[in-house]
Structure 1
Amino acid sequence: MRGQVTTIALVVAAGMAVFIASISTYDSLRAGRDRFYAAARFPQVFVTLKRAPLSVVAQLREIPGVAAIEPRIVRDVILDWPSAILPVSARMVSLTHAGDEPLARLHVRRGTPPEPGDSRTVAINEAFAEANSVKLGTDVPVVLNGRIQNFRVAAVALSPEYVYAVKPGVPIPDDRFYAVLWVDRSAAEAAFDMKGAFNDAIVSLTPGSDPGQVIDQLDRLLEPYGSVGAIARRDQPSNRFLDDELNQQKVMSITIPIIFFGVAAFLLNVVLGRLVTAQREQIAALKALGFPTTPLVLHYLKLVAVVVLFGSVLGLAGGFLFGEAMVASYHGFFRLPALVFELTPWSALAGFLISLAAATLGVVTALRNVVALAPAVAMRPAAPRRFRRSWIEALLSAKALTPRRVLAIRNFAGRPLRSTFTIVGIALAVPMVVLGLFWRDAIDQMIEVQFNLVERGNAMVTFPHPLNRTVIGDLAREPGVLVAEGLRFVPVRLRAGHRSYLTSVIGLPFNAGLRRPHDAALRPIDVPPDGITLTRRLAERIEVGPGEIVTIEVMEGQRRKIDLPVSAIVDETIGMSSYMEIDTLNRLTGEGAVVSAASLFVEPSALPALSRRFKELPVIESVAVKTYTLSSFLDKIAGIVLVSAGILTAFAVIVAVGVVYNSARIALQERAWELASLRVLGFTRAEVAQILFSQFAAEIVLAIPIGLVLSQSIVTLIARFHSNESFQIPGVVGARTYVVAVAIVVATAAASAYIVRRRVDRLDLVAVLKTRD
């Protein structure tokens, strides 16, 4: 039983490894985040405004529920980074306590942050420093008020606000072109003319306080100062993505192990149950000799325990390696001071107990049926089944019904329950492999939808403040620009009943060609002039559907409120967006015909020169080029997904091998007497093997279509559970994935058939036939 024991143990190991790694990775990531948030005093509420005097802070501290408030100066700037081919965007944040802030305290990796009164040095975020080889003492040229001012890097640091650092308007971090700079407040006041004022505040709450009530009070008090709306920690960009990834990892720690353990449990029940049934005569002989039932049961339970223990040891090692690989893939993605893989002890114990329970159930069920028989009855071979002409034979011609085929067909049809279990077991091997492979298809679909269908331009520029739409014509005349379209981004709070969400509405020109929302069938939708269009995840967040009314509170300009119907629901794979026709949106803000950004389609060969040109234009705040965005997406998002997918595929192949091999191996064990009899009657080895394998081949042929149908259902379910507010995983499976999955199962079947054929050839006819005497 070496082969069977090994493959069953490997199936147990695969389920254990996925279970342990998923739960432990989730716990490790959550623990790393919680430790950092606690040590850095991460606030619960964040608010951005135009400008307010510091005297207002005293009023804000009086709001019920506010424990501490830290006013700051935060402004987006451009770095004139010599080696960067694109303008480097940066966020400059003021410090008042040399990094040891009352809230959002810096974690210093190297150096010393700017001391109070030091207006010449900065601390820089670690991700940008690593991506651009920034060392202590390096000069950072910052464009301030049209002039370049050099700051010296005095420290490299991390912040809980920028664990996942992305430039505004871009969903994917690209550390090459986005930096965070921390400067002393004196430097920020001088650079932005903010003496005695602030334009950003972070707030911590007293235990048990309701963030919603605090946010309402902050919005009321800061509205005269241009507040764009306070947000809770949940919606802070870095934390939201980290929470989404944690939730996805939590879902993965439940759904994927359930599938693996479910298949493993089914296999263990079938294999061990059929093993006991095949040994019924030996059990009966022992019973006849006076052996009580308990030692017999314990014998099989010991076998189960050995197999499960062997598999659990392998699974523990595999889970540790899998978990370490997963956590390592997060290092360049989430910037946490200490992110190490920590094995969750209870997951190993739970995995062992689940596997042991599944195996024990299969053995005990089969043993109960055997020991219930009288020894004299159980020692006799089971009564021959009544094989008759089946409906399968009626479908075939007389020429096709050779004696060997009739034997295979009647054995298959005469044991419908056993055949069904075998088919289901083999069928489950297909979705196991698909589950590991489909992530590449999902990523390809995300790229196709978001970067080819929705965002059709290959570059986007944003402006520091809304500009007259004539700037679009100026950009269109730049060398290499083939098409330019203006966009408008307006911060709004969407309300539907008691539900609200702070976001931005994207204003699109009528019949826009470079940014086109699409419906679920991937058909382009024109944004109508009299409603608002929501992405599906945003509509689900505020629980509205097409035709329902949404209240839009504009958070800038004349800060109007208006009720509009939801004109359409669109599907996008990244983020949660809303759209309006740009002229309608501009009338709502009362700011005239202005734009916040421009989507461009540029001749690819002209992109490098145009990028250098953008670095010289003061009206450009940031530039995003699709090529680099896609590269960052594949490096970061896809990298994490594919590490997990690759390891899951390896475990899925192990499960497939275990299922298919054991199906073939047990079929031989159950039919050894019949096959030996046929050999004695004159059948050749090849003819005997053909009888056995023709049934096995029929089971494979029937199992594969069932497995393909199950694959799509399981993938759809997994994709639904794994989608979140940051990314929507499409439940698509490409033809290539199906072909590879089927090929793996067929190859496994061929290898199993080869091993079993060798055993058929080595059958000891006398020994096999004697066991029945």
Structure 2
Amino acid sequence: MVSPLDHKLLRDLWRMKGQALAIGVVIAVGVGMLVMMTGLVTSLNETRAAYYERYRLADIFAPVTRAPDHIAERLADITGVSAVEPRVTGGALIDLPDRNLPVQAQAVSLPDLRSPRLNDVYLTDGRMIDSDHSDEILLLHSFAKAHGLRPGDQLHATMNGARRSFNIVGLAQSPEYLYVTAPGELIADDARFGVIWMSRSALSATYDMQGAFNEALLSLSRGANERAVLDAADRILAPYGGTGAYPLANQTSNMIVSEEISGLEATSAGVPPIFLGVAAFLLYIVINRMVQSEREEIGLMKAFGYTNTEVGAHYFKLVMAIAVGGALAGCLMGIAGGRALIQVYITYFKFPFLVFQLDPASFVIGVSVSIAAASVGGLLVLRSVFALTPATAMRAPAPADYSRTGRLGHALNRWLDQPSRMVLRRITRQPARMAGAMIGIACGMALTVSMITIYAGFDRTLDLTFNVMDRSDVAVSFTHAVSETTIFELTRMSGVIYVEPVRYVPAVLRNGRLTHRGVITGLDKDARLARALDANLDTIPLPHNGIVLSTALADILNIRAGDMLTVEVREGRQPVLQLPVAGVAESLLGAPAYMERDALNRALREPNRVSGAYLTIDTAQAQPLYDALQDMPTVAGVSVKSQTEEAFHTMMDTGTGAMRYVMGAIAFIITFGIVYNAARIAYAERARDLASLRVIGFTKGEAAFVLLGELAIVTLVALPVGALMGYYLSFGIAAGFSSELYQIPAMFDAESYGFAAVVVIGAAVASGWLVKRDIDRADLISALKTRE
């Protein structure tokens, strides 16, 4: 049987359904984001672990120039190594009829008569290759799909300077290529980079590697010392041109997946509590004002014998009903959102399958945290319920003193009509209450400002990266460091306007125990096409004997200008250099390190060497130029900046980048919920007063103006406060979206702030319209009645 207090609870929930819904939505959004993001983290983690284990992804990658096969036995004897797989790899250029440039590819060998011990492939279409047929290949599934290739098609590619034709017999995926990008690049594009698997015998013949390998894959036994294995592998391979073994954590594909998971974990830990905190604040305001308006009812309940505990439990149930309802709705929203976003990650990362998996702990945490947050707001109010005695509660509270409005009010009274004076009196005589509403709306403004600013930050990243820092049209990479005479050959080509050489040197950068495996970029002193810029976008002069680090790399190594950096070069003679850090440059793409090219060549004792070039070209002669570049034996790849920019834009609109749109929609929902809730609270408090105004002759418009005028003033005051809060919040959100792959700047953009203000004002107008509709429909007799 339902008790009288429970009957009252149901009536109160129905009466304040608008407010309850607004608060429930805020709670639901917080819980939904927690469930969705923890589910995505669980899905990515478990699927990655299962994929790696099933197809035996190596724990250590050890590239080498050329090592005889018997060296693999020495690697297998290293303590802690459980399996070794030697293989041959090499660069390739694929000719496709739908592309005006050859596409870069990586050729990888598979054992002739057995499955690979490590880094096996998942066959999606067709069949495995037959080692008796040297022209059979497997092709990366995502690359084949991007170009409409299928098993049975032919493919033409240039390998080791020779053009060959191959038969595609199957399409495959591999845990080694979850994130597919060309060597030396960070931007994935299915259409611009492919992977070819061939039999070991066929690929060895192509690259003159019979009886030898140029990469060893190692797996570790449980409890193995990874650092010790890396050092032992380097010692064994050093005489054969080993360029430095590295762990799976530094493998590009795995590193990008790990950063994505870490970003989701950080967001799930930081963002939902903000929304739940806002919900607790709103609940506190609603229940506090409800208790104040029901003083006489509380007195009557206590006079009829209800104890403090029973009365307090009644209002606590109201809080819990809203919190639990919002939490359960949030769980359902999280499941739906996770299932929708999982499709984005299937496209972004090349998993053979990815099923959204729920994390049961997220349900428990989400519901528990939402209840706890709501309880904090509710318990603060319940103290005043316990403090009320029946006699005090049944006595009407002292009316507010509206006899004076201060100097401001006195000066404005003769200029204001009666409804305007009523608005002014309420604001000046109840500043704490108005401040609470203002802070709530300012929070909504801050969320909106920060998200719109992040949108501008993404656009700014694209503009700076591709129009300010890189002003070339085409980038050419060479198979190895070549003489400067190659630059003169490029300059003489028809269609080339300007050529700027560049030197890339793979290296391990070390500062104490902190390391980073990357590339040093050697630029000319007066570089015009590819530049190192500081935070003010001014060109950083490259010194004659120092290195300039990007801000992201300086943070990774915890190093500043003036410090000494250890550089372990991973090509050629592999010297170890001690270089002073001459400066820190702003970079929004990757974590590069810059040196003056001649200084880099001097440090390496390899004068007049280049690894690539940036070109500006005459677009009218682009195709003949591309054909000529394809015929140069030293050219490893040609990258058109416009295509790279398009791929980067696509990348930033998927994965974590796509999350900004979800959070932007959530910020708008929260903003509307806060503003609408403030309007509903004000109306609930003043319904009786507004009805009284109507009875004494005020029109519907005048009565609505008394209420909505307060909302308008509070909203306008909240805008600059919210803009300031949003400015600082933007830095935190920008840091959450940034990664080693790209950095998103937090920036002041007047247009973004203006649009955010329009969003908040629009929410206020919509909320005001909904509340005015209720005012116009109000039954004056019912509103004037007492509820007890």
- Which TM class, normalised by the smaller chain length? over 0.9
Structure 2 letter corresponding to 1:123? L
Residue in 2 aligned with 1:537? 552
- Please tell me whether the aligned partners of residues 461 and 623 of structure 1 are also in contact (alpha carbons under 8 angstroms): yes
5+ residue gaps in structure 1? none
Partners of 1:489 and 1:506 within 8 A in 2: yes
1:98 and 1:430, CA in 2 relative to 1: closer, same or farther beyond 3 A? farther
Q: Which runs of 4+ in 1 moved over 6 A?
A: none
Question: How many Å separate the matches in 2 of 1:501 and 1:11?
Answer: 42
The share of aligned pairs that are identical, in percent, is 35
Checking the alignment, whether the CA contact within 8 Å between 2:652 and 2:658 is kept in structure 1 is: no
Match for residue 695 of structure 1? 710
* TM-score (normalised: structure 1): 0.95
Distance change >3 Å, CA 564–CA 400, structure 1 → 2: farther
What is the CA distance between 1:520 and its match in structure 2? 1.7
Cα deviation for residue 145 of structure 1 reads: 4.2
Aligned to 2:79: 64
User: Helix, strand or coil for the counterpart of 2:169?
Assistant: strand
State TM-score, norm by structure 2: 0.93
Alignment of 1:501 onto 2:503: no
Indicate conservation of the 8 Å contact 2:503/2:521, yes or no.
yes
Q: CA deviation at 1:218?
A: 2.1
Q: Are 2:688 and 1:673 aligned? A: yes
1:432 has 2:447 as partner: yes
Q: After TM superposition, give the deviation of residue 231 of structure 1 in Å.
A: 1.2
- Is 1:456 matched with 2:471? yes
Q: Is the 8 A contact 1:469 1:594 kept in 2?
A: yes
Q: Which amino acid aligns with 1:87?
A: P
Match for 1:491 among 502, 506, 511? 506
- Map of 1:731 onto structure 2: 746
SS of the residue corresponding to residue 517 of structure 2 reads strand
The residue type paired with residue 494 of structure 1 is L
**1:419 equivalent among 434, 441, 458:** 434
Equivalent AA in structure 1 for residue 66 of structure 2: R
Shift, 1:195, TM fit? 1.0
Letter of the structure 1 residue corresponding to residue 751 of structure 2:
R
In structure 2, C-alpha distance between the alignment counterparts of 1:656 and 1:496, rounded to whole Å: 46
Q: Match for residue 82 of structure 1?
A: 97
Change (3 A) 1:179 1:391: farther
2:602 pairs with 1:584: no
Deviation at 1:642, TM superposition (A): 5.3
Residue 144 (str. 1) matches residue 145 (str. 2): no
2:413 and 2:18 map into 1 onto residues whose CA distance is 40
Whether 2:422 is the aligned partner of 1:407: answer: yes
For residues 127 and 638 of structure 1, the distance between their equivalents in structure 2, rounded to whole angstroms, comes to 18
Residue 221 of structure 2 is aligned to residue 206 of structure 1: yes
Pick which of 111-120 and 134-143 moved more. 111-120
Residue 141 of structure 2: which of 114, 121, 126 is its match?
Answer: 126
Q: In the alignment, residue 278 of structure 1 is paired with which amino acid?
A: S
More displaced 10-residue stretch of structure 1: 509-518 or 267-276: 267-276
How much is the aligned-residue C-alpha RMSD, in angstroms? 2.2
Residue 694 of structure 1: CA displacement? 2.2
Q: Which residue of 1 aligns with 2:4?
A: none
1:682-761 correspondence runs (5 A): 682-732=697-747, 734-761=749-776
Q: Quote the residue 1:239 is aligned against.
A: 254
Which residue identity does 2:173 align to in structure 1?
L
Once the two structures are TM-superposed, the CA of residue 389 in structure 1 deviates from its matched residue by 4.3
Aligned partner letter, 1:690: F
1:372 matched to 2:387: yes
In the alignment, is the contact (CA less than 8 A) between 1:388 and 1:410 conserved in 2? no
Contact kept in structure 1, 2:95 and 2:103, CA below 8 Å: yes
Q: CA 1:721/1:687 → structure 2, altered by over 3 Å: closer, same or farther? A: same
Q: Would the alpha carbon gap of residues 400 and 43 (structure 1) be closer, same or farther in structure 2, given more than 3 Å must change?
A: farther
Secondary structure class of the residue paired with 1:90 = strand
Shift in Å, 1:440: 2.4
> Which residue number corresponds to residue 302 of structure 2?
287
User: Which of 48, 51, 63 in structure 2 is aligned with 1:48?
Assistant: 63
Which piece of structure 1 moves more, 385-394 or 247-256? 385-394
**Following the alignment from structure 2 to structure 1, what is the Cα–Cα distance between the partners of residues 600 and 783?**
85
Whole-angstrom distance in 2 between the partners of 1:99 and 1:391 = 91
In structure 2, C-alpha distance between the alignment counterparts of 1:26 and 1:98, rounded to whole Å = 38
SS at match of 2:361: helix
For residue 639 of structure 1, what is the aligned residue in structure 2? 654
User: 2:461 maps to which residue?
Assistant: 446
For residues 397-451 of structure 1, give each alpha carbon's deviation from its aligned partner in whole angstroms, at most 9, with x where no partner exists: 5644554433322321222221111111111111233344344212211112221
Structure 2 vs 1, CA of residues 108 and 611 (structure 1 numbering), >3 Å: closer, same or farther? same
- More displaced stretch, 689-698 vs 578-587: 689-698
Structure 2 residue matching 1:331: 3-state secondary structure: helix
Question: For residue 749 of structure 1, what is the amino acid of its counterpart?
Answer: A
1:321 offset after TM fit, Å?
Answer: 2.2
CA distance in 2, matches of 1:503, 1:361: 49
- Structure 1 letter corresponding to 2:396: P
Aligned partner of residue 591 in structure 2, secondary structure: coil
Change (3 A) 1:600 1:701: same
Change (3 A) 1:396 1:244: farther
Q: CA deviation at 1:710?
A: 1.2
Look up the equivalent residue of 1:362 and give its one-letter code.
G
Question: Using the alignment, how far apart are the partners of 2:476 and 2:738 within structure 1?
Answer: 29
Q: CA deviation at 1:733?
A: 5.5
SS at match of 1:204: strand
Q: Does the 8 A contact of 1:423 with 1:700 survive in 2?
A: yes
Q: Give the aligned partner of residue 275 of structure 1.
A: 290
Distance 2:453 2:330 in 1: 23
Shift of 1:182: 1.0
What amino acid is the match of 1:356?
Answer: I
Aligned pairs, how many? 773
CA distance in 2, matches of 1:270, 1:702: 19
Cα contact 1:255–1:718 (8 A) shared by 2:
no
- Paired AA for residue 457 in structure 2: A
Structure-2 separation of matches of 1:126 and 1:98: 23
The equivalent position to 1:170 in structure 2, one of 185, 188, 196, is 185
Q: Give the 3-state SS of the residue equivalent to 2:653 in structure 1.
A: helix
Corresponding residue SS for 1:239: helix
Alpha-carbon distance in 1 for matches of 2:370, 2:339: 23
Out of 385, 397, 407, the residue aligned to residue 382 of structure 1 is 397
Deviations 1:478-515 (CA, angstroms, capped at 9, x unpaired): 23222111111112222222333332211111110111
Aligned 8 A contact 1:557 1:591 in 2? no
What residue number does 2:580 align with? 565
The aligned residue for residue 626 of structure 1 is 641
Shift in alpha-carbon separation, 1:435–1:320, aligned structure 2, 3 A: farther
* Structure 1 position 603 matched with structure 2 position 634: no
Give 2:174's match in structure 1, choosing from 134, 156, 159.
159
The answer to whether the 8 Å contact 2:546/2:582 transfers is: yes
**Is the Cα–Cα contact under 8 Å of residues 31 and 327 in structure 2 kept in the other structure?**
yes
Corresponding residue number in structure 2 for 1:25 = 40
Structure 1 range deviating more: 70-79 or 377-386: 377-386
Matched, 1:593 2:608: yes
Rounded Cα–Cα distance in structure 2 between residues aligned with 1:90 and 1:493: 25
Following superposition, the deviation at residue 588 of structure 1 comes to 2.2
Pair 1:13–1:33, CA change in 2 (3 A)? same
User: C-alpha distance in 2, partners of 1:527/1:98?
Assistant: 53
Report the more deviating stretch, 300-309 or 203-212.
300-309
Are residues 68 and 305 of structure 1, via their aligned partners in 2, closer, same or farther at CA, if it must alter by over 3 Å? same
Match of 1:230 among 228, 232, 245: 245
Specify which of 652, 655, 673 is matched with residue 667 of structure 2.
652
Q: In the TM superposition, what whole-angstrom CA distance separates every residue of 1:351-396 from its partner, at most 9, and x where no partner exists? A: 2222223333333332331342111211222112334645671795
Q: Deviations over 1:40-67 (max 9, x none)?
A: 1111111212111122222222333222
Higher mean C-alpha deviation, range 630-639 or range 18-27: 630-639
Gaps in structure 2 of 5+ consecutive residues: 1-15
Q: 1:295 deviation in Å? A: 3.7
Letter in 2 for 1:459: V
